[in-house]
Amino acid sequence: MGLYATLRGIGAQTKSYTDAMKMIKEKNVDTKLFFDQDTFAKIFKKLNLRKQYPSSSEKLNIVDVCTSFSPFAYYMHQELHPKNHVLYPESPSAGAFWKQITDKDPLMRDVKVDLGQANKLLKHSFIRKALNEKWITPQEQTDLSKINDTLLLVGTFMGFTGSRSLRVLLFFNQMKTSIFQFNNVKFLAWMQPSECLKFIGPMGSRHRRSNALMTNIFSDVKVIAYSNFSKYRPAERYLTKLYPDAIQLPTMTARKDACLVEFQSNYSKFDIKYPDELQVLIHKMLICPSNRVVDNLYTLGPGAEDYFKQHLSDDLLQKVLPYVTEEEFVKMSEVYYYWPFKPNTELEMFLGTPTPINEDD
């Protein structure tokens, strides 16, 4: 019997998610992030979500993307009792399973399962249906010193396809579009430790690339929990050093290591005057990330070397790119903006404001 049929059968035979969890365990169904309740309790305690969302029952909307069979969605719902909760299952089998559960479990009956929108996750309009149907009613956070306590994004991105979706969602955060148009949204993402390093981008490491820099410029990044039973050396080196208080997840036989990362949108972290120039600069300069700044100026266009040598300090010019700070890149983007002979880059990458999600595709 295939996974789809097995999980559909479990959903049909059980009346609650707790019963389904027992049957999944008994049948040894291969599921990701299938930790026990105590582990999730430690995670929620560390996240301190109840304090950050004190009126969750009255105004919190949880959007759960790429939802797997993990109990995380279930325990999150019981932890916060949100006003609204929408699931975007990661697969047809996950969709069939959660639809059965939400139809029958009294503790999950107010959860919506969107079976038709999962394949639209890479579009900034993927939440349009949830907004139009009033499945979620988030409010824009106008005080950028506070988190948005009306919206929480959660997702599972453990495979190759998931990592692509994760990058797209973090790009939406940079552009303040899609679900991030409401400002200062918290995003909790499950991924493999090797994927996590691409967004932490420790200073001086080979992981300090464009994804990491752009993510850290527009959000505060924190590792909440992880496992590393595969002894992946970079994860052992950086996660242990940078996040000594992170929760150590229990081993899961024959399953991949996992890492829970918190991305808290923060648009006032740096004084960014020219975001388009910043994005072009970072992506071009990091084409050869092991070089010094001065070695990669040619990527910006003819005459860039002479121009930047007049406006940047020699210390910065001689820095190897993985050691350049986010603040230094922001300052470089201002110099780049005022370059009178800057080439037109509009056709090279997507810049500007995407179409609002309430308009047609």
Q: Please give the full DSSP string across 121-146, using - where no structure is assigned.
A: TTSTTTTHHHHHTTS--------TTS
Note the pLDDT tens digit of each residue in 53-112.
999 999 999 999 999 888 999 999 999 999 999 999 988 888 888 998 999 999 998 999
What is the CATH number that goes with domain 275-337?
1.10.8.100
Instruction: Provide the 3-class DSSP secondary structure of residue 161.
Output: helix
Residue 229's pLDDT is what?
87
Average pLDDT over the chain, rounded to whole? 89
C-alpha separations of 169 from 92, 152, 154, 166, 186 in Å: 21, 13, 11, 5, 12
Residue 196's pLDDT is what?
94
Q: How far apart are CA 102 and CA 97, in angstroms?
A: 9
**Domain parsing of the chain, residue ranges:** 3-265, 275-337
Residue 31 CA from chain centroid, whole number: 21
Over pLDDT 70: what percentage of the chain? Answer: 92
Residue 149 CA from chain centroid, whole number: 17
Instruction: Provide the 3-class DSSP secondary structure of residue 62.
Output: strand
Residue 317's pLDDT is what?
98
Residue 7's pLDDT is what?
73
Residue 248 has pLDDT above 50, yes or no: yes
Q: Write down how long the chain is.
A: 361
Residue 118's pLDDT is what?
58
Q: How far apart are CA 150 and CA 140, in angstroms?
A: 8
Q: How far apart are CA 184 and CA 17, in angstroms?
A: 32
Residue 347's pLDDT is what?
59
Note the pLDDT tens digit of each residue in 262-313.
999 999 999 999 999 999 999 999 999 999 999 999 999 999 999 999 999 9
**Domain 3-265, CATH class in plain words:** alpha beta
Residue 204 has pLDDT above 80, yes or no: yes
Asked whether the CA dihedral 6, 12, 14, 16 is positive or negative, the reply is positive
